[in-house]
Chains A and B, each alone.
Chain A
């Protein structure tokens, strides 16, 4: 078990950050345990007659990275999409249970899904920049949510978002070039910049690195570490190495149920559930 984590660490480009953080993980995690950003209480999801998720319970800690892992088709992406109600658009999808953001039920009838999504950003598996210019991608959110009145303000927000996403230096000379001309990793960082341009409290990431090469992946992971200072991040990932590298809390999904949830250290080093143990040691998945 330990061996595994060690290997993951030694291949990583950010050894220092990881080690430092893992050292301070215990104290940090316990300190912020009281600060809960989102909760899910007995959440079940049905696609028509088929049940995709069964009784999921998890607390998402503020300004931490929570990783959701598990084999394909286990429901982790479905759960992620419940958190910003992206499942609403799927025909025949029904969500039961309770999900709260800062104590408020996000499925309450009074909640406007459009404004909810301005508080919970999302980054997708495949980079999906708008087929417009780089600048337009990061200016779009502030514009439709009225975060800026003048063109100058919009420009300021756009540039700040690009800087936060670590993309500004690479694109500053071609802000008005089409975003689709960027490399995959740059496109994904642009999507992150776009998501954070409207200051969401929570950022959902659905396998954000699965379409990227290892170098681009490392850059995204660095970025997640920086963003964690101000944003709560929930990431779905196929890569256990990635989960162990970036997250403080890990939830293991198996066939529609949350088999185990705990600190990343505990899940990877001392899993309680036999299914988690089997998955982490590579017996299936």
Chain B
């Protein structure tokens, strides 16, 4: 009897140990996958925050820029800077005189180089007529060469032997520098990877989320409060409740099609704008907010409602004075999580045309714009090697925003937990 007991006991212990091992294993697998994901994104993306520049001595000749006094901002904007930059580069290599060779040489420079000169001159109009030493961006290929993302030799080499010699000489002379890429953080999108920035997408996402919040937060709270506190429990309200829950499970691309059909085609709202993006995203966050708000309203102690009613407060006063303030942390948490989901949503934005190439940073929700996830999509599709690191860097940026939003939700939840638990 005792021995059989022992056997069974051992068997049970083994089963328990096994089960625990499975749990630890699956956790480790999940952590491993997450780590791999983050590692691959960060390792391929962090270089996008830096770019390679070339130090050139540029003679700011008014005649060659083709500007006449007064040197207004507008005039300077329309000046021609291309030849200035090129001659500054040619001056480094006086032995290169051949037209073809010079063209090869000038491909070391980014089209952004002349813009850098222009911007410098606009900021320092007094320097006109002098020679300045300015660090201008190098073209994406040489940027990638410096970052060792492109090979110096092999089958698909993108550089001629002479270009590599020039590059090495500039490197020896200390004219090539590796600088923090402010343009990536504060600039708009560009066809040239070395000039592409994420600010347009960040602003687009910000405006879309703002519109989404302004629409879905009040609507969601109103709907949840009505359903939870005032609506008669009839068949109709039950159907509505079930459908709100269903709405949360609808594929997002369908919301995009709805937005295309209704907001763009029927109401004629401007295409590609964060305004429409925000409206479409609010359709998606609404169910999330409603469900979270209803749950937190339901968890408010009935004693508080009774106390309010017994004090002669009207049902509306009870809701606004007592129930909603207590339910607010849960509502806010749900809202932030809903907005975080919306921030990562791509498909509905593709449908309403937020996938267009837009170089300007939007300043209002009515300006055409990209959004962060769409920007990632766009860059990931691009053929240039330089966009690979940009894609990863954009993913890092969106992940940072997501982590911040989720952290905020956690903070709100833990901060108010003590308060709302006491009845």
Binding site for B on A (CB under 8 A): 84, 86, 89, 91, 114-118, 121-122, 124, 126, 128-131, 140-141, 144-145, 178, 180, 191, 194-195, 198
Contacts and interface: CB of A to CB of B under 8 A. Distances in A.
A224 B304 CA distance: 23
A198 B304 CA distance: 18
A180 B312 contact: no
B312 A128 contact: no
A121 B310 contact: yes
Given A128-B301, A140-B321, A145-B312, 13 more contacts: A86-B309, A91-B233, A114-B313, A116-B312, A118-B312, A128-B304, A128-B307, A131-B420, A141-B312, A144-B311, A180-B419, A180-B422, A180-B423
A150 B130 CA distance: 72
Contact of A131 (B309, B311, B326): B326
A141 B307 CA distance: 11
A102 B94 CA distance: 111
29 contacts: A86-B306, A86-B310, A89-B309, A114-B312, A115-B312, A118-B311, A118-B312, A122-B306, A124-B303, A124-B306, A126-B423, A128-B303, A128-B304, A128-B306, A130-B304, A130-B322, A131-B325, A131-B326, A131-B420, A131-B422, A140-B311, A144-B311, A144-B313, A145-B312, A178-B419, A180-B419, A180-B422, A191-B307, A198-B311
Contacts of A145: 312
A77 to B, nearest CB: 12
A126 B325 CA distance: 21
Q: Counting chain A CB atoms within 10 Å of each CB, which of B309, B310, B419 scores highest?
A: B310
B302 to A, nearest CB: 9
Contacts of A198: 311-312
A117 B312 contact: yes
Contacts of B325: 131
B231 to A, nearest CB: 12
A178 B326 CA distance: 13
Contacts of A117: 309-312
A118 B310 CA distance: 8
A130 to B, nearest CB: 6
Q: Counting chain B CB atoms within 10 Å of each CB, which of A130, A195, A198 scores highest?
A: A130
A131 B304 contact: yes
A141 B321 CA distance: 12
Nearest to A91: B233
B83 interface: no
B308 interface: yes
Contact of A84 (B233, B307, B310, B313): B310
A85 B211 CA distance: 44
Nearest to B302: A128
Interface residues of B, number: 22
Contacts of B243: none
Contacts of B423: 126, 128, 131, 180
A275 to B, nearest CB: 31
Give the 4 A-B CB pairs with smallest separation, nearest first: A128-B303, A118-B312, A122-B310, A180-B422
A86 B422 CA distance: 24
A91 B322 CA distance: 21
A258 B317 CA distance: 36
Contacts of A128: 301, 303-304, 306-307, 423
Contacts of A195: 310-311
Contacts of B309: 86, 89, 117
Contacts of B304: 128, 130-131
Contacts of B420: 131
Contacts of A191: 307
A144 B312 contact: yes
Nearest to A84: B310
B314 interface: yes
B140 to A, nearest CB: 59
Interface string B52-67: 0000000000000000
A124 B313 CA distance: 16
Contacts of A121: 310-311
Interface in B295-341: 301, 303-304, 306-314, 317, 321-322, 325-326
A32 B326 CA distance: 45
Given A124-B306, A128-B301, A131-B304, A141 B419 contact: no
B238 to A, nearest CB: 14
Contacts of B322: 130
B301 A194 contact: no
A190 to B, nearest CB: 11
A84 B420 CA distance: 28
Contacts of A122: 306, 310
A277 B311 CA distance: 37
A194 B312 CA distance: 11
Contact of A126 (B303, B317, B321, B419): B303
Contact of A130 (B233, B307, B312, B419): B307
Nearest to B305: A89
Interface in B268-307: 301, 303-304, 306-307
Q: Counting chain B CB atoms within 10 Å of each CB, which of A144, A145, A195 scores highest?
A: A144
Contacts of B313: 114, 140, 144
A89 B233 CA distance: 13
A69 B333 CA distance: 46
Q: Counting chain B CB atoms within 10 Å of each CB, which of A114, A116, A178, A198 scores highest?
A: A114
B185 to A, nearest CB: 43
B381 to A, nearest CB: 52
B415 to A, nearest CB: 14
B120 to A, nearest CB: 58
Contacts of B317: 144
Q: Counting chain B CB atoms within 10 Å of each CB, which of A91, A115, A116, A131 scores highest?
A: A131
B407 to A, nearest CB: 25
Q: Counting chain B CB atoms within 10 Å of each CB, which of A84, A140, A178 scores highest?
A: A140
